[in-house]
Amino acid sequence: SQQGEEDPQALSIQEGENATMNCSYKTSINNLQWYRQNSGRGLVHLILIRSNEREKHSGRLRVTLDTSKKSSSLLITASRAADTASYFCATDSLNNAGNMLTFGGGTRLMVKP
Amino acid sequence: DAGVIQSPRHEVTEMGQEVTLRCKPISGHNSLFWYRQTMMRGLELLIYFNNNVPIDDSGMPEDRFSAKMPNASFSTLKIQPSEPRDSAVYFCASSKGGTSGSTWDIQYFGAGTRLSVL
């Protein structure tokens, strides 16, 4: 089964609104990352949050991490049509002998102009 | 840097044919990953190399799949013989590698190879 599970699977909002996506995982982690995938493209790294951090910001992105609940959220503020994409969380694992990441199923975000 | 380069971008082949996908990782990166993405199964890790050595190939579906990394700048994923259920987008990604928990874990993806097996 997947380490990370995103919720919701799909989200449709109007331009200017905020978009919130959630990720749950199962095992203890060193860090959690969020990636974005535009249609027909590869995944692009957005932000990394370490297990000892609770919140991180990057431009219009805000990520939170709650290790006690094994969950993370990605907030995109003031969304734009160009934010339309799929968003994936990815976790490593404390038991991971290498640098492998486990990706969730993704949230498909549509931002309507 | 040009990023991770994959070729071909699209491949259409007939069932039973051999397919070879190619990847050039970012120079200086020590870790290389092959993924497969489908609507039904999402993004699956097939195999992971560190310093050109396969570390984990538990995701390789079956013996029809094989991967090699003869040097730090090149890797191949081969399917022989190919089957219609192998149709998917195959991604290669690389990372600096190193101590887990650092930004060296960030993976950089290629544009993918869309494989269609008829």
Q: Give A43-59 pLDDT, tens digit per residue.
A: 999 999 999 999 999 99
Gap from B83 CA to chain A (nearest CA, Å): 22
The whole-number pLDDT of residue A2 equals 44
Interface of B with A (CB under 8 A): 4, 31, 33, 42-43, 45, 48, 50, 55-56, 91, 93, 95, 97-98, 100-101, 103-112
Distance between B60 CA and the closest CA of chain A, angstroms: 15
pLDDT one-digit tens code per residue, B97-114: 765 556 668 999 999 999
pLDDT of residue A94 exceeding 80: no
Number of Cβ within 10 Å of residue B86's Cβ equals 21
Whether A45 and B56 lie within 8 Å, measured CB to CB: no
Tell me, what amino acid is at A93?
S
Q: Is B72 exposed, middle or buried (0-12, 13-18, 19+ CB in 10 A)?
A: middle
CA atoms within 13 A on the CB side of B94: 24
- Alpha-carbon distance of A82 to A66, in angstroms, equals 29
Q: Distance from CA of residue B55 to its chain's centroid?
A: 14
